[in-house]
Structure 1
């Protein structure tokens, strides 16, 4: 995967509004499943040319989120201290760091958290616990180890646009891995599950 080239493609999507129009649904997921095999934005636009605005925005959003997440997983697994999970269909493990299994989850800073970004940095465990309790109820919901990539655009509030900043994300992930320590992970006990977790902050 060529990170600079993919970043260039993802940034072409930023000129369009990030609105869902409706909650994620199996029907619309099926209609937009081509996003998994489409890397360039021009092809994506052509595949959506007969869609109404709501379905087009839905496809654009899924495409951005999917390829940003794939790039982040590639960034992790390209690092020598990380081992990729052998099972590509695993819903709870993407990779291992120092033999510790992790799923990774990208998320904009949640305004529903009700507290400031600076507060979240100082109270990381509180934010992580909130994220586990309020994460999606879809198939990816679980109580296993997870690394959260949290995006925060202090100046403009367009947190979602940072998902396209793959080179910046790569720098932050590599910095995190250079300093990785099991002792610095956040330990939680939720519903009798022992969980190890952490946050990588992507802030501009």
Structure 2
């Protein structure tokens, strides 16, 4: 990734103002509908990989325009493709920074090809921020009453490109649900998410993690954090 946690800590950037910057920039994305014109693919990912080093929305617009001109691709399609990747990346990075800046959180040392994002009180975790999945096909009320069922579904249906490995890693899921149906917009509310995650970490209890038998030879621990508004 472009600006990694290692880079941030090496230059002793204060996390709070950095999170505020990310949150401020993410707001620009909210004025546009959330949809993709196409599935992600290696070619367009390579075209738009500047998202990893471009936190500013203004700079992002410049890079999109330059890329469209250079590769002669559809401006509208590439615009949405890129702002979606940018939005998801920086919101996810902000959540990771929140975890690792709290007492008990330590960022993973290996940032390339990693299967672990951070350690929490000595336990290694991968994490995912996710909107409440339509594919779960059950209500929020059902998921809250039977959270292990949702966690099991998430473990088996997210990150298919790393499916064989995902089943072996401990997980923390941050699941967002907006009562107005615009779940994706909650990813931009970094300060609000920080309060929710801080409360979870402050009251972290290993015994309350779900134990899942996803493989015959290993128990996977999984935590669930609700972000509902």
| TM-score scaled by length of structure 1 | 0.95
2:176 corresponds to which of 143, 148, 151: 151
Distance 1:23 1:158 in 2: 21
RMSD: 1.3
Q: Where in structure 2 are the equivalents of 1:81-100 lying within 5 Å?
A: 81-100=104-123
> Once superposed, which parts of structure 1, at least 4 consecutive aligned residues long, lie more than 3 Å away?
none
Distance 2:41 2:159 in 1: 13
Gaps of 5+ in 2: 1-14, 69-73
Q: Which has the greater radius of gyration? A: 2
Residue 139 of structure 1: CA displacement?
A: 3.9
Distance 2:183 2:143 in 1: 15
Residue 191 of structure 1: CA displacement?
A: 2.4
Distance 2:32 2:61 in 1: 11
Residue 90 of structure 1: CA displacement?
A: 4.6
CA offsets 1:14-72 (integer angstroms, 9 cap, x no match): 11111111111111110100000001111111211235211110100000110011111
CA contact (8 A) 2:173 2:223 kept: yes
- Secondary structure at the aligned position of 2:155 is classed as helix
- Secondary structure at the aligned position of 1:138 is classed as helix
Gaps of 5+ in 1: none
- Secondary structure at the aligned position of 1:118 is classed as helix
Match status 1:116 vs 2:139: yes
- Secondary structure at the aligned position of 1:197 is classed as strand
1:64: which partner in 2?
87
CA offsets 1:127-146 (integer angstroms, 9 cap, x no match): 01111111132247611111
Match status 1:131 vs 2:154: yes
CA contact (8 A) 2:132 2:177 kept: yes
Q: Where in structure 2 are the equivalents of 1:26-37 lying within 5 Å?
A: 26-37=42-53
2:200 corresponds to which of 142, 152, 176: 176
CA contact (8 A) 2:159 2:166 kept: no
Structure in which a larger fraction of residues adopt helix: 2
Distance 2:95 2:101 in 1: 10
2:215: which partner in 1?
191
Distance 1:58 1:145 in 2: 30
Residue 88 of structure 1: CA displacement?
A: 1.4
Distance 1:124 1:190 in 2: 16
Distance 1:168 1:198 in 2: 19
| TM-score scaled by length of structure 2 | 0.85
Question: Which deviates the most, 51-60 or 29-38?
Answer: 51-60
- Secondary structure at the aligned position of 1:167 is classed as helix
Residue 171 of structure 1: CA displacement?
A: 0.3
- Secondary structure at the aligned position of 1:89 is classed as coil
